[in-house]
Amino acid sequence: MSGCGLRRRRAGSAVLVLVLGSGLVAASCSSGGGGSASGSSTSTSTTHAPPRVPTSAASTTTWGAGASSTTTTAGAAGGVEPTLGVSGAFGPSAVGFGAVRPTEISLGGDPTGILTGITWQSWGGANASGAGTGTYVAPGQSVAEGTQETATVVAYGLGMCRGSLAYQQVVWYFPQHGQTPADNGGSPIQACTGP
């Protein structure tokens, strides 16, 4: 029988458990010796097994008074992981949009619009946060004078984006230089709609 999941024998008794494709579990037990009609009893029952729902870490980041805190909880909605906006929001040369936990984000042009080597500490909650390497340009410097430094990245605005669950905004900043999420040019990157 192709649906048989487990068969065990113990001192004259047998237990047969069937796991059916619909999530039903059927069990048949018999005891007694040699299979005689007088020394055996058989019962069969069917129960519903709980559905298996994939879980993932979800997190919420709260900003305020120059500090941030992150709370992690289990289970994204229905096990579906959100993407960072949608593919094509910034054109064909953009990278990372429409992906789950992208390791690189690029707006497809200026070096200050590129973040590489991203590792996400959280993903799936109201906000996602991580760190990567970006081009820091100090006040009064040109982009050519910028340096590669560690940046904090935050994706937020979790909602529907062209019919799929996605973070609608993303921002990265350099806290080691006193920056906050609001310092990304005064406005977040619109991951669903583009520029």
Tell me if 195 is assigned to some domain.
no
| Same-domain status, 91 and 11 | no
- In terms of Cα–Cα distance, which of 73, 82, 91 is closest to 195? 91
User: In the chain, how many domains are there?
Assistant: 2
Q: How confident is the model at residue 184 (pLDDT cuts 50, 70, 90)?
A: low
| Same-domain status, 36 and 94 | no
Q: How confident is the model at residue 65 (pLDDT cuts 50, 70, 90)?
A: very low
| Same-domain status, 39 and 133 | no
Q: Which helix (H) or strand (E) covers residue 151, if one does?
A: strand 147-161
Name the average pLDDT for the chain. Answer: 71
| Same-domain status, 118 and 180 | yes
| Same-domain status, 10 and 77 | no
| Same-domain status, 31 and 64 | no
Tell me if 84 is assigned to some domain.
yes
**Pairing relationship of beta strands 128-136 and 83-84 according to DSSP bridges:** unpaired
| Same-domain status, 80 and 128 | yes
| Same-domain status, 70 and 126 | yes
Q: For residues 17-39, b (16+ Cβ closer than 10 Å) or e, as one string?
A: ebeeeeeeeeeeeeeeeeeeeee
Q: What is the mean pLDDT of residues 69-77?
A: 39
Tell me if 159 is assigned to some domain.
yes
Distance, in Å, from the CA atom of 33 to the CA atom of 40, rounded to the nearest integer, reads 7
What does the pLDDT read at residue 78? 61
pTM of the predicted protein model = 0.60
- pLDDT at residue 89 above 60? yes
Q: What is the mean pLDDT of residues 56-81?
A: 44
> What domain range includes position 155?
57-190
Distance, in Å, from the CA atom of 141 to the CA atom of 159, rounded to the nearest integer, reads 37
pLDDT single digits (tens) 106-150: 998 889 999 999 999 999 999 999 999 999 999 999 999 999 999
Tell me if 113 is assigned to some domain.
yes
| Same-domain status, 65 and 133 | yes
pLDDT single digits (tens) 16-61: 333 333 333 333 333 444 444 444 444 444 333 333 323 333 333 3
Q: How confident is the model at residue 80 (pLDDT cuts 50, 70, 90)?
A: confident
